[in-house]
Structure 1
């Protein structure tokens, strides 16, 4: 049972990556039908709030109301500047984490940009590909937005470590995050999409996509916070490139997307890098358990020395008493 408990964070993260892959596919499907991205995000966060808020309310735990004060907020912010992941260039496990990270990132980038010869689904020519680039001049702007989103997501992962120590109720924390995200996304959507017709759901597919992505957001926030509190932000972040591999597999099977050799090489690099980082994190966990274990040998030696000293001192004290 202890071995199964150790594998729980990895299984949760793998399930979340499968869910993220489904979110990517369903989001693209909803946007292809003309739905506004800002309205879609607002609906998604609203559904996530409606799903997680009742669960958090009825299963809430007793908690300290001071944990969300401004002093705690600034403490959480400054701890992110110190660094939460120890890196020793002379350690094998630290080098494994660095090399694995480089492999994962390189693999994900190669899957997105490298092509090469076609391997699968060369006979299919879909009329409107799910991943077809139609932006033209907006392609660079989209990359900048994705980079900014990755930076914000990285900061969010790091913030979960001190926040989990201060506010250990992950369900309630997830409900608050979804609620605040709903308010922010709704304000942005109302500012840019002032036409109320943009808020109408024109098909059952759009409604289904909103429900699926909303439920996935609620589950993913809670799952990510739980995994980070147990294994740290690096462990959670290293699974993100795996969703790219899963999306590629789903797209090739369900949507007959063409698979290129560059995608295959990138997928192999992502898997190898992920296993390398997990090996380094496992070694860190073993060292932590060794340092946490008590050392009974030293205690027994200390007790033995004290007893021997007492045995030596007692006769001397008794002789002094007899002489007096």
Structure 2
């Protein structure tokens, strides 16, 4: 019982930290976009760095447990890299390898989109050691951590548990924006944040009740 509570607390903390990371990514992305970075190339660089960082670990640590790759799984990864990469874990349970492949196909698909959207604008691919590179590297690390945590949490608690925390990033962005970007925090934002937090608590409470052992007669 106690160990179960500890495990649940770790999962909750991990998801909250992921949402905090997304909030930070939103802030740093605003700075990089104001400096002229293209949203399309930002995604490409973000996914490319994530792939380069994660692929060696996935190759080494999961080389003996990685299931064979099939065209069906590749198609799922290509599709889900555009949307939600969690629910494929049943078909391909190696989380590191799965995360690396999601980042790789996200890079490929992002590059295709960028070449179409930014056609003839070769300058958008220029990147130096400045806020643009920092944003790309931060975004890459956030993708790696977020996809890995998503897989771990969804595998154990289900997609509803993970998705319930997504609005927290919006709340955190509003709070961070008021400090970092000196944006005004309106009463409506405060009320919305309170509603989100209360709703999150109710969802977690409901999930805990669902998973509690049945009472003995």
Provide TM-score, normalisation by structure 1: 0.60
Match of 2:110 in 1: 185
Question: Is the aligned partner of 1:224 residue 2:153?
Answer: no
Provide TM-score, normalisation by structure 2: 0.88
Number of paired residues? Answer: 209
1:1-324 correspondence to structure 2 within 5 Å: 2=3, 3-60=5-62, 61-65=64-68, 68-70=70-72, 153=83, 156=84, 160-161=86-87, 163-193=88-118, 194-201=120-127, 204-287=130-213, 290=214
Contact 1:27 1:209 in 2 (8 A): yes
Who wins on radius of gyration, i.e. which is larger? 1
Contact 1:45 1:178 in 2 (8 A): yes
CA offset digits 1:169-215 (Å, max 9, x no partner): 11100000000111111111122223321111256111111111111
Deviation at 1:25, TM superposition (A): 0.7
Consecutive aligned runs of 4 or more in structure 1 exceeding 4 Å deviation = 71-74
Deviation at 1:9, TM superposition (A): 1.4
Unaligned runs of 5+ in 2: none
CA RMSD of aligned residues (A): 2.5
Contact 1:42 1:186 in 2 (8 A): yes
Unaligned runs of 5+ in 1: 78-151, 296-324
Call closer, same or farther: CA 1:249–1:72 in 2, change over 3 Å: closer
Higher relative contact order structure (alpha carbons within 8 Å, sequence separation ≥ 6): 1
